[in-house]
Structure formats: C-alpha cells, structure tokens
C-alpha cells in the first residue's frame, strides 16, 4: 500500500445522504459541475485525502503553488453543502491518481462517505462524440435514472469503458453496496466545454430541487461558443473523435 492520509477539517455529525463526485477528464465536465455546485451552494471544505498517488498532470510528485506564494499538495477535496433539504457532499480533485492507485484512494474516500451516512453517489464525467453533442448519458440506480430520462437524458448504449477516478468510484460504489448514478455530458472535442456541464447542472437542479442560479454558467457557455469554439473546432476531425470516443476518462 502507498502513503494515503485523510485529514478531517470539520466533524460532520449528522448523516449526509448524497454525494456528487466529479474529476478532471474529457472536457473537464465532471470537475466543472462539482465546482459550480460548491460555489453556488456555499459548500464548506470538510475533509481532504492526500496520497502519493495524486501527482501533478505530468505524473510527477510535486506541489501546487498559488498566486500569493502559498502552496498545497494535490488532494481529493470533500465539501459539505447544507442548505435546507439539500444536504450533500461534493467531491473533486485537481488531478487524477496514477492508475495503480485509483482503487486504493477511492477505497479511503468510500470509507469516509459510508461513515458519514452516504447512501447514493452521483458520479459526473465527460464523453466525446460529435454525433451526440449536447446530450446527457446516464446509467445506474433505476429510480434516479428514470428521473433523468424524464428530463431528456438517454440511457447508456454508447460508453464501453469508464477509467480514472470515475471508474474507480463506480467500482467501489458497487462493491460497498452504495446506490450509484453515473451521468456523462457529451462534448464535441477535448476542450474544457461548459455546455455539457450546463446540461448536467440543469438536470441536477431539477431532480434535487437545488435552486441554483445558472446565470453565470450561461455566460460561460455564451463566451465559449462565441469566442473559443470557432477558433478551435477545426483542429479535431470527426474521424478522430469517433476513434477516441470509446476511451473514456472520467
């Protein structure tokens, strides 16, 4: 086993029934969704998981230096959103663990979630397929999947593999007996696209009655579509997208 350490910053005593997890990956959709939720729900950082498996994007050990000169170790961050009927954990990380440490790190995460009363985990990620752009793909717990389908999501018939922390989280959820819901936004290419994140947020907003203000996300989508995509979309051919789309990074 590698070096792993969970640091609890707030002692969460009352049960938290739901967790939503999203990480860096295709289109950075998962981490966009979770970060937006954390901001709009004023979520408080409750715990961090440090691990030697959490390396920088170049797969080397190191620290992340902030603009003010302070620094921090990469960590899986667990935040608590607690507003009215919405009591849930939001889980994210600035980096992915190396492949051989993903299950070990996820195991520590799920130990914590189970201790705090989590019954259902939503795992948010991204998928690239131009033919399905602007759709939301889902599978998992039947009750929640049906709710998402009623809002226009499609049941998965396309994705054949889920890798990274998203895949490891799905594995641990099933092994530990958690109800799980997988939700994937579909991007047209590998750019950090806010539109698929917006689609997922709209659906979570509805099925959970989160009451989140979506105005800021709408502005991000408009900026992306008007300024960035026209410059970048020609760089990735549709054939390349189809060839890569089966390799899924959550």
Q: Tell me the pTM.
A: 0.89
Q: Where are the domains of the chain?
A: 15-244
Q: Which of 129-138, 164-173, 175-184, 238-247 has the least mean pLDDT?
A: 238-247
Distance of CA 239 to the CA centre of its chain: 27
User: Is the pLDDT score of 134 beyond 90?
Assistant: no
- 15-244 CATH choice from 2.40.50.140, 3.40.50.10900, 3.30.420.40, 3.40.190.10: 3.40.50.10900
- Structure-block tokens of residue 146: 């049906």
User: Is the pLDDT score of 20 beyond 50?
Assistant: yes
Residues 6+ apart with CB under 8 A from 4: 49, 50, 51, 52, 53, 104, 105, 108
Per-residue confidence at 70, pLDDT binned at 50, 70, 90? confident
Q: How far apart are CA 137 and CA 38, in angstroms?
A: 23
């Amino acid at each position: 086993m590698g070096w792993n350490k969970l640091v609890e910053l707030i002692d969460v005593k009352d049960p938290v029934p739901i967790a939503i997890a999203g990480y860096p990956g295709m289109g950075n959709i998962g981490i966009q969704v979770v970060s937006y939720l954390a901001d709009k729900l004023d979520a408080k950082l409750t715990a961090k998981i440090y691990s030697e498996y959490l390396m920088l994007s170049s797969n080397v050990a190191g620290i992340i230096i902030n603009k003010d000169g302070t620094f921090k170790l990469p960590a899986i961050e667990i935040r608590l959103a607690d507003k009215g009927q919405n009591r849930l954990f939001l889980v994210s990380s600035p980096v992915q663990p190396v492949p051989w440490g993903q299950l070990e790190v996820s195991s520590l995460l799920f130990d914590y979630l189970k201790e705090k009363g989590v019954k259902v985990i939503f795992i948010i990620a991204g998928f690239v397929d131009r033919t399905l752009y602007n759709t939301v793909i889902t599978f998992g717990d039947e009750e929640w999947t049906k709710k998402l389908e009623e809002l226009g999501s499609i049941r998965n018939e396309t994705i054949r593999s889920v890798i990274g922390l998203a895949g490891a989280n799905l594995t641990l959820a099933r092994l530990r007996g958690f109800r799980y819901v997988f939700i994937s936004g579909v991007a047209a290419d590998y750019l950090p696209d806010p539109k698929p994140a917006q689609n997922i947020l709209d659906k979570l907003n509805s099925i959970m009655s989160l009451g989140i203000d979506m105005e800021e996300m709408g502005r991000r989508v408009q900026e992306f579509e008007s300024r960035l995509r026209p410059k970048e979309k020609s760089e990735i051919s549709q054939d390349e997208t189809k060839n890569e789309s089966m390799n899924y990074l959550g």
